[in-house]
Amino acid sequence: MSSLKVTFGIMAAGLMLSGCMQATTYEATNTAAFKPHDKELLAKIRYTNVPVAEPFRRAIVDYHRKEAPGSILVDSDNHYLYYVLDNGKAIRYGITVGEEAMAWSGIAKVGSMTEWPAWHPTKGEIERLGVPTFVAPGPDNPMGSRAMYLYAGGKDTLFRIHGTNQPEYIGASISSGCIRMTNEDAIDLYNRVKVGTVVVVLEPHHGDSPYNSQMALQGGGNTVQ
C-alpha cells in the first residue's frame, strides 16, 4: 500500500508542477552513446520501465549556484542531481534518495566508478532488508547500470550514485541512503564524470532548486524564480 502511495504522489507531482515550471529543455536518451553490452542488458530487464514524471526527467536548466563546471550537486530535498555545465547551465536529473535518517550530506569526490556493478549490501542492509550478502551484476541488480562511489577524506563513505531497478521511485525518499537514477540517466552521467569529480550533497532542509518538488508531493504550490 505504501508503494502505491509513493507512486501516486510522484504522479501528482508531475501533474502539479507541469503548469508552473520554468522553461526547460528536456533531453531524450541518446542510446547511440550506449555500449553494446548496455543495450544487451537493458533489453533483458524484468522490471517495469515506468516513465519518470515530467519534473524529474533529465533536462538542461538554468543553474544559479557557484559550483564549478564539471561538478555535481545533489539536492535531496527536491530529488534532483545537477551536473554543472558552463554559462550558468546544468543538466538536472531526477533521483531517488534515502530517508532523512539514512541520508549522507557533505562534500565528497568520485573515488571510483564501475559499469554494471555487483551489489555488496552493508551489514545494516542485510539485517534490515533480509537481502543476500552478494548480488551479481545484471539488469535486475539494485545497483543498476553504473555506480559512482563517493569518497570523503580519502575514505569510502559507503554512499553511491547508481542506477536502479525501481524507476517508479524516482522523485521519492525510500533508499538506504544512496542516490539512485534511472539506468539510462546513470549511463549518461557516468559518461560525463571522472574519478576526482567533486560532489556536493546538501544537508536535509537546505534544498536549493528553483522550485520545490517536495512541496508538490505534499499538495502545496510552488513559486518559480
- 203 close to 105: Cβ distance less than 8 angstroms: yes
The average pLDDT across 54-74 equals 95
Q: Is 50 helix (H, G, I), strand (E, B) or coil?
A: coil
| 3-state SS class at 150 | strand
| pLDDT cut 90: percent of the chain above it | 60
pLDDT tens column, 83-124: 999 999 999 999 999 887 577 899 999 999 999 999 887 787
pLDDT > 90? residue 9: no
Provide the terminal-to-terminal Cα distance of the chain, rounded to the nearest Å. Answer: 36
Query: Which residues have a catalytic role annotated?
Result: 162, 178
Question: If you average pLDDT over residues 177-186, what whole number do you get?
Answer: 95
Quickly tell me which residue has 577524506 as its cell: 153
Closest CA to 76 of 53, 105, 101: 105
Confidence band, pLDDT 50/70/90 cuts, at residue 16: very low
pLDDT tens figures, 150-169: 999 999 999 999 999 999 99
Q: How buried is 46 (Cβ within 10 angstroms: 0-12 exposed, 13-18 middle, 19+ buried)? A: exposed
| Average pLDDT score over the chain | 84
Q: Which run of H or of E encompasses 184?
A: helix 183-190
Q: Determine the pLDDT at residue 13.
A: 43
Nearest to 176 by CA among 190, 189, 158, 163: 158
Residue 204 has pLDDT above 80, yes or no: yes
DSSP 193-216: --TT-EEEEPPTT----SS-HHHH
- What average pLDDT score do residues 122-149 get? 87
pLDDT of residue 107: 97
pLDDT above 60 for 2: no
CATH class of 2-206: mainly beta
pLDDT at 213: 59
Question: So where are the chain's domains?
Answer: 2-206
pLDDT of residue 212: 60
Q: How many other CB atoms are found less than 10 A from the CB of residue 45?
A: 16
| pLDDT tens digits, 20-44 | 334 568 888 888 889 999 999 999 9
Percent of the chain past pLDDT 70, that is, above it, reads: 81
Q: Please state the pTM of the whole predicted model.
A: 0.82
Residue 214, pLDDT score: 56
Burial 108-145 (b: 16+ CB within 10 A, else e): bbbbebeebbebebeeebeeeeeeeeebebbbebbbbb
pLDDT at 174 over 60: yes
